[in-house]
Structure 1
Amino acid sequence: MPGPLTYAEVGATLDAAAPLPAGYHHVERRERIGVGAEVFRRVADGVLAWQVSRGAGLEVRTDAERVVEGAEVISVTRLGPVRIGAPCRVVGVLDGPARAGFAYGTLGGHPASGEEAFLVERDADGVVWFTVRAFSRPGTWWSRLGAPVARVVQGRVTTRYLAAARALAG
């Protein structure tokens, strides 16, 4: 998996107030998942231990038991009998008392080019929110041909990420 990231806008998903970069397909889904510091910590710890990805049904291959900047990971998804590996590198990690999560970016061999972030936030009222922010475009000739299918798959996986975060919240 070594090699450079396949896009230039590194870290663009981590600032929820900033617009996502032009020229890409955007995903931004935010959902209220609970209330309180205990819920926040449980979900934040799960996100930072790859549990949201695993809970979404992805096979996570990495040497990093906990998300750290620079960690490399391959998320494997199945489409029927076909297994597709998506190599990424963690480009940013947040782990504060009210905001936690990470972003990872695509490496060579990933079917897309772009970045995805998983963010857990606790607002001033104690409400806990989970957000998935991503920007991507096809990264291979075959993913360009299958772009409509890839968007459907991305939407389904994003829905499963949200369900996994809700499950962690209890």
Structure 2
Amino acid sequence: MVTGPMRSGEPRDSSLNYAAIGATQTDEILQYPPKGYRAFQASRKIGSGQERFDSAARLLMTWGVLRGSGVEVLDITPETAEDVYAGVDFDADGRPIGITSIPEEELFAPDGTPYVAAGTTAVTVYSGGPFKVRVPIKVVYVIDEPKRVGYGYGSRVGAPAEFERLMVVELTDDGSVVFTIRAISRVTSWYRRVGFALLRLGQKRYTDKYLTALHPTRSAGS
């Protein structure tokens, strides 16, 4: 049984189905989640050193955590240039001076796999026994810092819940490589509770899978 309206080849709606866009960027969301939402965070050390950080970041940014956890990632569609809001640059006095430039270079892993980018849409498929739940998502922001790499993605119209999830790898000052997941979620409406219940029942299972997906023994895709 497959729940959810999205099918390959059907018209897609890239709109997010929640208002708290970008909320997972700050850890304050754990204490003060939006009304009606549940907040969650879990972290795990997955090694140490620059090389470990680089390999973990590369795997994370090519959908490795989801796919390594048994989640299918389908219909991946990068956002087109004309759909991207560039924003406005300001001078030191706060006066607008022009449109922010958008990087044209797309990042790729050594095997040619494109990196996750803001605005990318996809459909994730979770399996539980005879059931499959299709969850349309959109990448809402990307973190690309020397010692911190990751992305946040949120639920799109048609998902059985409203949620946003951050997955980030960090190289700490003591050389540890730490993988963190932070999320907020809430059910959208009563008739979606079946699909949402399946996701909630598997939340701990998938969280454990997520947290181990970047472990060195899994880096080869095992």
Both proteins in one fold, TM over 0.5: yes
Counterparts of 1:151 and 1:76 in 2: how far apart (Å)? 14
RMSD, matched Cα: 2.0
Question: Whose radius of gyration is greater, 1 or 2?
Answer: 2
1:161 is matched with which residue? Answer: 210
The 1:130–1:78 alpha-carbon spacing in structure 2 relative to 1, beyond 3 Å, is same
* Aligned residue among 51, 55, 58 for 1:42: 55
Counterparts of 2:199 and 2:68 in 1: how far apart (Å)? 20
Q: What displacement does 1:146 show? A: 6.3
Unaligned segments of structure 2, at least 5 residues: 1-11, 79-113
* Aligned residue among 14, 20, 24 for 1:13: 24
2:119 is matched with which residue? Answer: 70
Q: Give the TM-score, by structure 2 length.
A: 0.70
Counterparts of 1:122 and 1:169 in 2: how far apart (Å)? 21
Equivalent pairs: percent with the same residue? 38
Unaligned segments of structure 1, at least 5 residues: none
AA paired with 2:60?
A: V
AA paired with 1:92?
A: Y
The 1:142–1:72 alpha-carbon spacing in structure 2 relative to 1, beyond 3 Å, is same
- The alignment partner of 1:19 has SS state of helix
- The alignment partner of 2:18 has SS state of coil
* Aligned residue among 114, 119, 125 for 2:174: 125
Counterparts of 1:153 and 1:134 in 2: how far apart (Å)? 15
Q: Does 1:52 align with 2:103?
A: no
**Are the counterparts in 1 of residues 14 and 138 from structure 2 also a CA contact under 8 Å?**
no
Counterparts of 1:151 and 1:78 in 2: how far apart (Å)? 12
Q: What displacement does 1:79 show? A: 1.7
**Are the counterparts in 1 of residues 168 and 179 from structure 2 also a CA contact under 8 Å?**
yes
* Aligned residue among 5, 8, 30 for 2:43: 30
Q: What displacement does 1:80 show? A: 1.5
- The alignment partner of 1:10 has SS state of coil
